[in-house]
Amino acid sequence: MNQRDFQEAKATFQYTRIFNERKPFHKLRKDFVKKFTVDKISKMKLDDYVQGKQNKESFCYGVEWLLDPLGKIVGSNCSKFGIYYSEEDQEYRFVSRFGDDYKSAFKCIKDEILDLLDAGAKEEYERIEENLLSPMFKGKILSIYYPKKYLNIFSNEHLDHYLIGLDLDTTDLLKKDAIYKRRALVDFKDADPDMRAWDLDMYAVFLVSQYPKEPKAKKDEKYIGAQEKELKFQTIEGFSYIENLSIDYDAERESKKKESKAKDGKADYEKEQRRKTKLGDRGEKIVMMAEIKRVMEERGVSEAKAQKLVIRESLTNDAIGYDIRSVNSDGTPRYIEVKSTTGKAGDMSFFYTINELQTAQDLKEDYYVYLVYEILSKNPKIWVLKNPFIGNQQLTLEPIKFKVNVQTK
């Protein structure tokens, strides 16, 4: 989803209606927490905990099924709870890391739950990561007892999907425990002026609705068609700069490209613009990474300081004529317009507005164009052009649209 679509999605999200519809689920959660207090958990009997004995009052049944609307952990077997009752074998089954027999295993599991609740209250993430409970079970418990702190999305696959959708993915983050991925998603929400006051459960509903992991009904051909044609971005592992290219306008080659384009028939400009916007958003993410690294090296500053010096202005104002404001090695400003393509380094055609062109002419030597190639790869390439609109005879500008004002009496 590009930034424009994201802003529209937030504006059209029916927060109040959905929140009211979900109030019964929140009441169930509160009742569950009142029933299974820390004291009650410490004194809990085995059959009050396990699934497999048709006990709908048990701790595990409540976490998995009663509170299923507040985050799914179904799909894997009962071993995720550490211990369960096998109706087929008429015996307790347990995971060996918790003990040598089912009694010692259950005691260990209770201790781990209590330790998790303590670590969760204090937001001690290393303790949470080291806790022996299974990741999805652990995540669900935290979101039940601390719904204002922990996001109720538990699958690593889905967490990665949302991180990529929001351009938050890095190779380091995707390798980390789920607790840190949820934290990154919550930090993103809290930094957004529109979403910072949102309930975490509502934020999860928003993510699921706007970034669906699976296609909807198979009969929805329009939806499936859109999914199949969706751009597939890979998590960036690195990037490199292109040093050996130069602008060289070839009139004959340009003429052949126009002839080929004309044979393609009628263009879907709206669809193409949506695609270009998504490529542009991803390109800006890549250039932000590159600029932060450059500023750190050239200015000798920390990453935190560099992040304050490199600002992605397009997120808050798309009418200023450039995308990113950075600094040069001597501290002077650098204004960057980003253009992106899926193709390999070489020719690139891109759209420029009158406002962007005027900005380039006004900012002169402080203005740069960063061309990002191979944007769907793990290692895109960046070609840095110092204001190519100043005295460059090899660059061609072709007017393809006109603004028409119709006035009536």
Residue type, 310: V
Domain for residue 401, yes or no? no
Domain for residue 376, yes or no? yes
Mean pLDDT taken over the chain? 84
Sign of the torsion formed by the C-alpha atoms of 191, 181, 20 and 35: negative
pLDDT tens digits, one per residue of 288-307: 999 999 999 999 999 999 99
Q: What is the pLDDT of residue 308?
A: 94
* Shared domain check, 246 and 98: no
* Shared domain check, 316 and 206: no
Confidence band for 272, pLDDT divided at 50, 70 and 90: low
Confidence band for 312, pLDDT divided at 50, 70 and 90: very high
User: Residue 235 is encoded by which pair of tokens?
Assistant: 């998590």
pLDDT tens digits, one per residue of 361-393: 899 999 999 999 998 888 999 999 888 887 665
* Shared domain check, 275 and 161: no
pLDDT tens digits, one per residue of 1-23: 567 778 888 989 999 999 999 99
Q: Are 203 and 211 in contact (CB under 8 A)?
A: no
Picking from 172, 190, 210, the residue at the C-terminal end of a domain is 210
* Shared domain check, 182 and 274: no
Q: Rounded to an integer, what distance in angstroms lies between the CA atom of residue 346 and that of residue 246?
A: 9
* Shared domain check, 279 and 199: no
Domain for residue 365, yes or no? yes
Q: What is the pLDDT of residue 392?
A: 60
Confidence band for 62, pLDDT divided at 50, 70 and 90: very high
Please name the residues in contact with 43: beta carbons below 8 A apart, sequence gap of 6 or more.
Answer: none
* Shared domain check, 273 and 193: no
Domain for residue 400, yes or no? no
* Shared domain check, 68 and 106: yes
Domain for residue 280, yes or no? yes
* Shared domain check, 294 and 202: no
Q: Rounded to an integer, what distance in angstroms lies between the CA atom of residue 310 and that of residue 292?
A: 6
Our count of domains for the chain comes to: 2
Picking from 191, 210, 229, the residue at the C-terminal end of a domain is 210
Domain for residue 363, yes or no? yes
Q: Rounded to an integer, what distance in angstroms lies between the CA atom of residue 128 and that of residue 124?
A: 6
Domain for residue 222, yes or no? no
Domain for residue 224, yes or no? no
* Residue range 161-187: mean pLDDT, rounded: 91
Query: What is the reported pTM?
Result: 0.70
* Shared domain check, 143 and 22: yes
Look at residue 266 and tell me whether its pLDDT is greater than 60: no
Q: What range does the domain containing 155 cover?
A: 3-210
Confidence band for 314, pLDDT divided at 50, 70 and 90: confident
* Shared domain check, 339 and 285: yes
Strand-strand pairing, 324-327 and 367-373? unpaired
Please name the residues in contact with 233: beta carbons below 8 A apart, sequence gap of 6 or more.
Answer: 164, 282, 375, 376
Q: Are 377 and 341 in contact (CB under 8 A)?
A: no
| CA 155 to each of CA 58, 76, 165: distance values in angstroms, whole numbers, following the listed order | 23, 11, 15
Strand-strand pairing, 240-241 and 311-312? unpaired
> Any idea which of 140-154, 217-231, 267-281, 342-356 has the lowest mean pLDDT?
217-231
* Shared domain check, 184 and 95: yes
Confidence band for 164, pLDDT divided at 50, 70 and 90: confident
3-state secondary structure the chain: CCHHHHHHHHHHCCHHHHHHHCHHHHHHHHHHHHHCCHHHHHCCCHHHHCCCCCCCCCHHHHHHHHCHHHCCCCCCCHHHHCEEEECCCCEEEECHHHCCCHHHHHHHHHHHHHHHHHHHHHCCHHHHHHCCCCHHHHHHHHHHHCCCCCCCCCCHHHHHHHHHHCCCCCHHHHHCCHHHHHHHHHHHHHHCCCCCCCCHHHHHHHHHHHCCCCCCCCCCHHHHHHHHCCCCCCCCCCCEECCCCCCCCCHHHHHHHHHHHHHCCCCCHHHHHHHHHHHHHHHHHHHHHHHHHHHHHHHCCCHHHHHHHCEEHHHCCCCCCCCEEEECCCCCEEEEEEEECCCCCCCCCCCCCHHHHHHHHHHHHHEEEEEEECCCCCCCEEEEEECCCCCCCCCCCCCCCCCCCCCCC
Q: Rounded to an integer, what distance in angstroms lies between the CA atom of residue 182 and that of residue 152?
A: 8
* Shared domain check, 33 and 93: yes
